[in-house]
Amino acid sequence: MKIQTKITLHFLALSTGILILLNAFILYFESRFNYRDFFKRLAARVNITADINLLPEKTKGYLEMRNRFLEKLDGEQELFIKAPANITTNPGLPEKFFKDLVANNRAEYKQDNRFYSGKIVSRGQNKYIVVVSAKNPYGYREIEDLQQILLFGFMGALVIVFFVGKFFSFNTFAPIRKLNNKVNSITSSNLHQRLDVTGKDEIAELQHTFNNMLNRLETAFETQNNFVSNASHELRTPLTIINSEIELAINKSEAGSRQHEVLSTIQTETNKLIQILNGLLTMAQSGYDGKKQNWEQIRVDELLWFAIESVKKINPDSNIEVDFSNLPADELLLNVAGNSNLLNLAITNIIINSCKYSQNKLVIVKLTAQNGKLVIAITDLGIGIPSDELQHIFVPFFRASNTHEYKGHGVGLPLALNIIRLHNGSIGIRSEVNLGTEIQIFLPSGPS
């Protein structure tokens, strides 16, 4: 999951928690206000009821005032009774409400949707219990309406918060995206480019870090490039001279003599050294040549024919079969962008290995297209590779434990992997000992 998405979700979760707390706060205090207001209305009726029953001379006025100015509450009931000196008998009131009333001379109580308000009034030596109860359907309806409003408001707020969070995270990571695009545009051919450092925040620190890394990479690549350029001349020339002189000495020596055998051995080892040196230099050049030379559109099916022709020249006894039965209908999908010489070298090396380690048994070269990639599958019936050694076959100079009887230097597959990676491709391999090996080359297809 991207950090931008994580921030959006965290922002949404935080806002959800805040909204839930806010809605609970509103609902709680609205309920308390609603209940308190209703209890006040009941308390006013308790006082009026007490005055009506205890002040006969004012009964008419209180009755008129109550009828004119006080609405009749839903399920309103009045209780006015004379209490004994020691109040112990409950006149049908809720037990908790009755106990609070006796203990405090005033009490309020809610049972389901019925509210009770009462007090004990003293007149002379007498005590009277005055209680008014009623239902509060309007208050409950008001709270239910508020709950619906808060619920819909909560859901709408979440939608708004989600898109605000996406917008916020998108803008927050805009410098990161710009930095990422700039870094992706820097390749081995333009390592001299640097990121523009703006501001003094964490992004600027990251830009400084990338620039320092690019400085080190540019130095390393230049060192490698200089080595490859110089080694091509400084190493190959003396080895070629040595090989020529040895060949002259062999021609002048007697066949079968000790001197002839020694010179032949030196020539053989010198040729091996030249082959290893050529492989190493080619592998170094395939990893970085300072620029993309001869980068062009290549028809892979035609490239395979050239590679097979090269293999036939090197090993005339090779037995190679080509399978083009599943080529895509669109010929443009057979194109890849790259260097034809390098790709030809990589494919040739893999086919030569397949022919060599299968002792010229049938090798099948199959070309297919899938998921926007061209897949070149090279399958042989050779000696295979031990499963515990598969992970090492692309390491330079590594040779499997069952290849000692075959000539080789362990640079062909690493060289092929470097070339394929240079073309934004990859290599996969499957192998079983004594059954054979299949190597698949994946290259991005279509016009570049």
The 10 Å Cβ neighbour count of residue 189 is 14
Q: How confident is the model at residue 290 (pLDDT cuts 50, 70, 90)?
A: very low
Residue 57: give its domain's CATH number. Answer: 3.30.450
Q: Are residues 211 and 328 in the same domain?
A: no
Residue 280 has pLDDT above 80, yes or no: no
Q: Are residues 385 and 413 in the same domain?
A: yes
76-79 long-range contacts (CB < 8 A, ≥24 apart) are 76/45, 76/132, 76/133, 76/134, 77/132, 77/133, 77/134, 78/45, 78/49, 78/131, 78/132, 79/118, 79/129, 79/130, 79/131, 79/132, 79/133
Q: Please report whether residue 309 resides in a domain.
A: yes
Q: Please report whether residue 167 resides in a domain.
A: no
pLDDT tens-digit readout, 82-120: 877 667 778 888 989 888 988 888 999 998 888 999 998
The 10 Å Cβ neighbour count of residue 61 is 12
pLDDT tens-digit readout, 47-74: 888 887 877 766 666 666 666 666 778 8
Q: Please report whether residue 251 resides in a domain.
A: yes
- For residues 422 and 303, the model is more confident at 303
Q: Are residues 74 and 134 in the same domain?
A: yes
Q: Are residues 276 and 308 in the same domain?
A: no
Least confident of 82-86, 225-229, 436-440: 225-229
Q: Please report whether residue 194 resides in a domain.
A: no
Whole domain around residue 433: which residue ranges?
A: 296-444
Could you give the percent of the chain with pLDDT greater than 90?
Answer: 25
**What is the maximum alpha-carbon separation in the chain?**
157
Q: Are residues 344 and 439 in the same domain?
A: yes
- C-alpha distance from residue 31 to each of 23, 71, 144 (Å): 12, 22, 10
Tell which residue, 401, 405, 354, has the closest CA to residue 380. 354
Mean pLDDT of 237-254: 84
Residues in Cβ contact with 52 at an 8 Å cutoff, skipping those fewer than 6 apart: 58, 59, 62, 63, 66
Mean pLDDT of 435-443: 94
Strand ranges inside 254-372, DSSP E:
296-299, 319-323, 335-338, 362-370
Q: Are residues 440 and 300 in the same domain?
A: yes
Residue 305 has pLDDT above 90, yes or no: yes
Q: Are residues 439 and 319 in the same domain?
A: yes
Domain termination residue (choose one: 228, 254, 287): 287
Q: Please report whether residue 169 resides in a domain.
A: no
Tell which residue, 374, 232, 247, has the closest CA to residue 298. 374
- For residues 197 and 300, the model is more confident at 300
Under DSSP, the state recorded for 173 is: T
CA distance 388 to 397: 17
Domain termination residue (choose one: 260, 287, 314): 287
Domain termination residue (choose one: 234, 257, 287): 287
CA distance 232 to 39: 101
Q: How many domains does the chain have?
A: 3
CA 356 to chain centre: 44
Q: Are residues 124 and 17 in the same domain?
A: yes
Q: Are residues 255 and 322 in the same domain?
A: no
- For residues 396 and 287, the model is more confident at 396
Q: Please report whether residue 237 resides in a domain.
A: yes
pLDDT tens-digit readout, 2-42: 778 888 888 889 999 999 999 999 998 988 888 888 888 88
- Region at 129 (left for phi over 0; alpha for psi -120 to 50; beta for the rest): beta
Q: What pLDDT sits at residue 69?
A: 61
Name the 3-class secondary structure at 85.
coil
Tell which residue, 85, 176, 178, has the closest CA to residue 129. 85
pLDDT tens-digit readout, 138-161: 888 888 888 999 999 999 999 998
Residue 379: give its domain's CATH number. Answer: 3.30.565.10
Q: What pLDDT sits at residue 253?
A: 81
Q: Are residues 332 and 271 in the same domain?
A: no
Q: Are residues 278 and 307 in the same domain?
A: no
Tell which residue, 402, 395, 384, 397, has the closest CA to residue 272. 397
Residue 289 has pLDDT above 50, yes or no: no
Q: Are residues 276 and 300 in the same domain?
A: no
Q: Please report whether residue 16 resides in a domain.
A: yes
pTM: 0.51
Residue 328 burial class via C-beta count within 10 angstroms: exposed 0-12, middle 13-18, buried 19 and up: middle
Q: What pLDDT sits at residue 357?
A: 92
